[in-house]
Structure 1
Amino acid sequence: MLGIGIVAWIIIGGLAGWIASKIKGTDAQQGLLLNIVVGVIGGLLGGWALSLFGVDVESAGWFFSFLTCLVGAVILLSIVQAFTRKK
């Protein structure tokens, strides 16, 4: 994912963060900026996880980068929800 520009990071990250927040039910708590942050950090998390399995994310294209961000963002939101749940 490092092969695409910063504008692409923002667009793909924002879209992936927004869809992930819809999937996890946190959309009402997040704004545009937090969706972008979640998507970009999710992309880094997903890219790191896939690199452990030897998957080359950088040369896979926009769609694979989006899927990587989406899966990473869902994982990130799941982790955050696990730590912030009231007992």
Structure 2
Amino acid sequence: MSILSWILFGLIAGAVAKLILPGKDPGGIIVTIGIGIVGGLLGGWLGSSFFGGGGISGFNLASFGWAVLGSLILLLLYRLVFHKSRG
């Protein structure tokens, strides 16, 4: 699967990750979209390199799942690093 496909997956996966983990993120929608794109690339890399051995290809449910997983991981990390404490 090409990098361009993972970027497209990332856009959609970022939106899904935001629906799964709602809340106000520091940075707004642009940062969330960026996290989605990078998360899609991360998910594609994880799935291809470690778990699929290059078996993930095309627009299918497994590929989309990896993109969403990568976006969720990055969104959680982003919130942990840039979370402003309320008090």
Tell me which interval the TM-score lies in, with the shorter structure as reference length: 0.5 to 0.7
1:38-80 Cα shifts (integer Å, max 9, x gaps): 2221122112223133532542x21222111111000000000
Q: Are 1:45 and 2:42 an aligned pair?
A: yes
Q: Using the alignment, how far apart are the partners of 2:3 and 2:41 within structure 1?
A: 14
TM-score of the aligned structures, taking structure 2 as reference length? 0.67
Q: Using the alignment, how far apart are the partners of 2:37 and 2:73 within structure 1?
A: 13
SS of residue in 1 equivalent to 2:54: coil
Q: Using the alignment, how far apart are the partners of 1:75 and 1:34 within structure 2?
A: 15
Q: Using the alignment, how far apart are the partners of 1:19 and 1:38 within structure 2?
A: 12
Q: Using the alignment, how far apart are the partners of 2:66 and 2:38 within structure 1?
A: 11
Q: Of 46, 68, 71, which aligns to 2:69?
A: 71
**Structure 2 unaligned spans of 5+:** none
TM-score of the aligned structures, taking structure 1 as reference length? 0.67
**Structure 1 unaligned spans of 5+:** none
Percent identity of equivalent pairs: 33
Determine the structure 1 residue equivalent to 2:59. Answer: 62
- Sort the Cα spacing of 1:36 and 1:27 in 2 relative to 1 into closer, same or farther, 3 A: same
Q: Using the alignment, how far apart are the partners of 2:15 and 2:35 within structure 1?
A: 8
Q: RMSD between aligned alpha carbons?
A: 2.7
